[in-house]
Structure 1
Amino acid sequence: MPPRTLTSLIIATSLAACDAGAGASGAGPDVVVETRGDTTVVRTLSGNVWGADATLVPQLSIGEVEGPEEFLFGAIGSIAVDDDGRVYVLDRQAFNVRGFDADGAHIETLGGPGEGPGELSTTGSIAILPGGRVAAQDPLNSRIQVYGPEPNETEAWRYESGAFVLPFKPLFVDPLGRILVAAPQSSAPGDVVEQVAVLGADGVQQDTLIPPHGDFEPPSVEVYVPMFERSVTSPVPLTARRHWTLNPDGHFVTGVSTDYRIDLEGDAGVLRIERVYEPVAVSEAERSYHREDTTRSMRLTQPDWSWNGPLIPETKPPFRGLISGRDGRIWVQLWTEAYPEENEDYDPDNPRSDPVTWPSPLRYDVFDSDGTYLGAVVPPEGFADYPQPIFDGDDVWAVTRDALGVERVVHFRLQVGGGNR
């Protein structure tokens, strides 16, 4: 076992003072810090800086039920925000990107359906490049359409990708102006290797990176696919997964949700965030729902399929997603207790439709870039976790969906307890 230096620090008021804000209360987090080689572990035992759960208060909404076409969204697939608060929205139905100023006024529409210069035949994610250029991913064609900086100026940047499955990952832009795009490769169906293509500021691919997950493989079941003449695997519901995102500095943020442990790569080593947590129980009814749903789905491919993998667990993993904010904060999407809800769109003739669903309310843990646990955020009703929200300090931009399914992009401000920050 390698030598280990223990800096066992019980940090309370010192961490609480770093970013308490106007609405915070309490003594702050109880933390142990350890140094293990080039890895610094910040483990929160209890408490947090804010002292109370935070919510998100709407500041501006873009999108209408009726009105000018540029404010009517069909299916929002990605959003991006520049340093001046301008908001860009990718509409997967219209195959275009619409730009709005910080007050919500429409300023431009980019792209459109097609194969020509600046046009999109498929839609992935968008990002803002240095100089105000807008990048839109056309994933099935393994290219990125770049708009600007001059009006009607476009470029097409190519990258290597060959996967059968395309993850819904955002585009990342690092301080050097390089763009990083999820570009998985696959030698056979079901054997997908997650990787990231790195394109320079000139659009030429420079490198390919693989997130450092170790050798973890999620618990899975197998199904035989006649088309491929082989079996492929599918993860068991509510089990641990590999998660990754990229920090604004271009380094990976990774975690395997077997434990509450998240690694932030850096030039000087790794910062590991850990937190003591109470596992969320899975009821027998929820386990039955997921087992029946998986079985029904598998039998569409293999009619005689029966369960052939690990059982659905009795507790959920600690987290289900990682997002790095533009300011370097880490937002950890948590697993929460689910509840049964009648499916108003249930179609008994559709084998993939369920009469009852089990939604889990959204909740995020938020950590500062040094591993300090700031607290939890409970978004309001209608807040969507897809497409990925934009987090920047106390400002959040996200898609919302109302009871009629109307989509809008909303600028929120974080509020702790009953006070403003």
Structure 2
Amino acid sequence: MPRAQVAELEAVGGLAWAYTNAGAPPPYGSNWLMAFAADGRVAGALTTTYRVSVYDSLLRSVSTIEQDEEGPRLTAAERRNTLAHMAERRRQSRYYVYGENDIPERKPPIRNLWFDRDGRLWVERHLPHLPNEPQEQGADVYGTDGEHLFSATWPRGIDFGLGAIRSNTGLGIQTDVLGIERVVRVRFGPDGIG
């Protein structure tokens, strides 16, 4: 992990917790993610690399899931939106210190992670923007021992971060361009496509 990505690292009960404030601002800067399963398992990842550590309820290492994967490049529109977000943050807070040079060229490979109702770990990835194509989100799904079960995709704008997925059906929150939210149901087919 690049030293600039981690401002402070503290070991607590054998589990590493990272606090990041160096490198890049949201939404594409490094972020520390954690997910909790009903059976007590805990998953943690720093979004700058595709490496997820899974621990049991006593914080003993169960598995480490790794892929050699970079996130997709930011589009010009995503860069403009990030600059606008940063300008608004600077306007709201005199402590906001990020500048245009802090915006990364690539998104992090991991966007989010959660456990579903069946105990499977979902590692949501940043997918590339495809011009003239329907935009999608996607995740790799892992079993309790860290084996890759399948990869799933669904229409962009649906958040399953609460883990409301059981079997091949998920309930998510869809946000439209006006910011209006609604509950949607997605059925994932045998190939993981919603």
Q: TM-score, normalised by structure 1?
A: 0.36
Kept after mapping to 1: 8 A contact 2:112/2:123? yes
User: By how many angstroms is 1:402 displaced?
Assistant: 6.9
In the alignment, structure 1 residue 299 sits paired with structure 2 residue 74 = no
Deviation per residue, 1:179-206 (Å, 9 max, x gap): xxxxxxxxxxxxxxxxxxxxxxxxxxxx
Q: Work out the CA distance in 1 between the residues paired with 2:159 and 2:192.
A: 24
1:91-170 alignment runs, 5 A limit:
none
User: By how many angstroms is 1:394 displaced?
Assistant: 2.3
Percent identity, please: 24
SS in 2 for 1:299: helix
In the alignment, structure 1 residue 312 sits paired with structure 2 residue 103 = yes
Q: Work out the CA distance in 2 between the residues paired with 1:397 and 1:280.
A: 27
Which of structures 1 and 2 has the larger relative contact order (alpha carbons within 8 angstroms, sep 6+)? 1
- Counterpart for residue 152 of structure 2: 377
SS in 1 for 2:188: strand
- Counterpart for residue 65 of structure 2: 273
1:397 to 171, 186, 190: 171
Kept after mapping to 2: 8 A contact 1:213/1:255? no
Any stretches of 5+ residues in structure 2 without a counterpart? 1-11
In the alignment, structure 1 residue 365 sits paired with structure 2 residue 140 = yes
Deviation per residue, 1:341-367 (Å, 9 max, x gap): xxxxxxxxxxxxxxxxxxx73211111
User: By how many angstroms is 1:386 displaced?
Assistant: 6.2
Q: Work out the CA distance in 2 between the residues paired with 1:210 and 1:310.
A: 37
SS in 2 for 1:279: coil
Kept after mapping to 2: 8 A contact 1:218/1:242? no
SS in 2 for 1:416: coil
Q: TM-score, normalised by structure 2?
A: 0.71
Letter in 1 for 2:20: E
1:236-255 alignment runs, 5 A limit:
236-255=26-45
- Count, aligned residues: 176
Kept after mapping to 2: 8 A contact 1:257/1:320? yes
Deviation per residue, 1:342-401 (Å, 9 max, x gap): xxxxxxxxxxxxxxxxxx7321111112111223211146x6206624122323222346
User: By how many angstroms is 1:282 displaced?
Assistant: 1.5
In the alignment, structure 1 residue 407 sits paired with structure 2 residue 182 = yes
In the alignment, structure 1 residue 257 sits paired with structure 2 residue 47 = yes
Any stretches of 5+ residues in structure 1 without a counterpart? 1-208, 222-234, 341-359
Letter in 2 for 1:214: W
Letter in 1 for 2:42: F
SS in 2 for 1:399: strand
| Cα gap change, 1:288 to 1:213, in 2 (>3 Å) | farther
- Counterpart for residue 8 of structure 2: none
Kept after mapping to 2: 8 A contact 1:330/1:366? yes
Deviation per residue, 1:13-65 (Å, 9 max, x gap): xxxxxxxxxxxxxxxxxxxxxxxxxxxxxxxxxxxxxxxxxxxxxxxxxxxxx
In the alignment, structure 1 residue 217 sits paired with structure 2 residue 20 = yes
Cα RMSD (Å) of the superposition?
Answer: 3.6
Kept after mapping to 1: 8 A contact 2:122/2:141? yes
In the alignment, structure 1 residue 287 sits paired with structure 2 residue 79 = yes
Return the index of the structure with the highest Cα Rg. Answer: 1
User: By how many angstroms is 1:241 displaced?
Assistant: 0.6
Letter in 2 for 1:255: A
Q: Work out the CA distance in 2 between the residues paired with 1:292 and 1:409.
A: 30
| Cα gap change, 1:378 to 1:323, in 2 (>3 Å) | same
| Cα gap change, 1:259 to 1:402, in 2 (>3 Å) | closer
Letter in 1 for 2:109: P
